[in-house]
Copies of this chain bind each other. A is one copy, B any other.
Amino acid sequence: MKEYTEFAIPPVILSSYAVAGEKEGSGPLGKYYDEVEKDSYFSKKSWELAEGEMQRRAISGAISKSAFDERDIDCVIAGDLQNQCIASSMGAAGFGIPYIGVYGACSTFGETLILGSSMICGGMADNVLCSVSSHFCTAERQFRFPLPYGSMRQPVAQRTVTGAGALLLSKEGVGVKIKGVMTGKITDYGITDANNMGAAMAPAAADTLTRFFNTTGTTCADYDVIATGDLASEGYELLIKLMEKNGIRMADNYTDCGLMVYNNEEQDVHAGASGAGCSAIVTAGYFIKKLSAGEIRRMLIVPTGALISAQSLAQGCTIPAVAHLICLESGDNK
């Protein structure tokens, strides 16, 4: 079994675009997003359609920031959390670009980068647009309760990010490089508490990171930043403990995108952020800019996902999880 793949000719991230909701825009990374929309409906009739519009803006924005137009893009790879990934197909529909839909829950952003890179390295595409979204209002009423209920949230609960992030990958050019990728395995620790996704996903991230460090012979010290996708405060602490058990000490450069989106206490979001859009907007909005500026030279992003549905929870299933790993390097780094 192949573990980590390092690309001989790394795909280049030519442009990135992050669209965020109002609450995300008020968070610590607000100034890094390309666009903050105050209207949760994005001028559409429903939140489901709003999320489609958000993806459309992310795709359009990433293309606009590059030297290309739609006809130069060989494929859009997109995903989201809505049933049948409908926000992604809605968002991509108008561009006339070949379309691949993917679903990996909140790890979806990692999937799109793995598959986009493989299409480029496999000679199937020169330019691939990767786009991922989530919307607090669509996720809440699909997975939990109708919003007007005003349900109480548990202390370990996370808030689904309203946001979409898009990256334009290319076989050549100047920009942040996708140095390598690693596909995650499904782990299942038997957790059934749907309010504690961080705990369900931490074992998946620990499995992927452990396999990665063991395979590559690297340690935390070899990277400026290591960021998991959306473990938030519960999962973050748990990951550190699980890695210790595996004989690996996570250093101070370890963070989690779920801890970066909000001022958790002031914004009253409990354990932090979650959702497929979480690692997408933090990467497309913040990390790519820091890598481009050379402030981060080399980092690992590890999007994490809980593989559940409302039905699987109702039928008493456990919460399996998966975490994919992407190694990013600033363009000037050999």
Residues of chain A touching chain B, judged by Cβ–Cβ distance below 8 Å, are 1-2, 5, 7-8, 45-46, 48-49, 71-75, 79, 81-86, 89-90, 92-93, 96-105, 111, 114-115, 117-126, 181-186, 188, 307-312, 315, 317, 320, 322
Contact = CB atoms under 8 A, between A and B. Distances in A.
A185 B97 contact: yes
A1 B74 contact: yes
A48 B184 contact: no
Contact of A49 (B181, B183, B307, B315): B315
Nearest to A6: B123
A86 B308 contact: yes
A221 B126 CA distance: 31
A160 to B, nearest CB: 14
B120 A122 contact: yes
A118 B126 contact: no
A183 B99 contact: yes
A253 to B, nearest CB: 25
A125 B2 contact: yes
A118 B122 contact: yes
What copy number does this chain have within its complex?
Answer: 2
Given A86-B309, A100-B104, A118-B119, 4 more contacts: A5-B124, A74-B183, A81-B84, A100-B114
Nearest to A119: B118
Contacts of A122: 117-123
A167 B2 CA distance: 19
Residue with the greatest number of chain B CB neighbours at <10 A, chosen from A122, A188, A310, A312? A122
A307 B102 contact: no
12 contacts: A2-B124, A5-B123, A5-B124, A48-B312, A82-B311, A89-B307, A98-B182, A100-B115, A101-B103, A102-B103, A120-B122, A124-B181
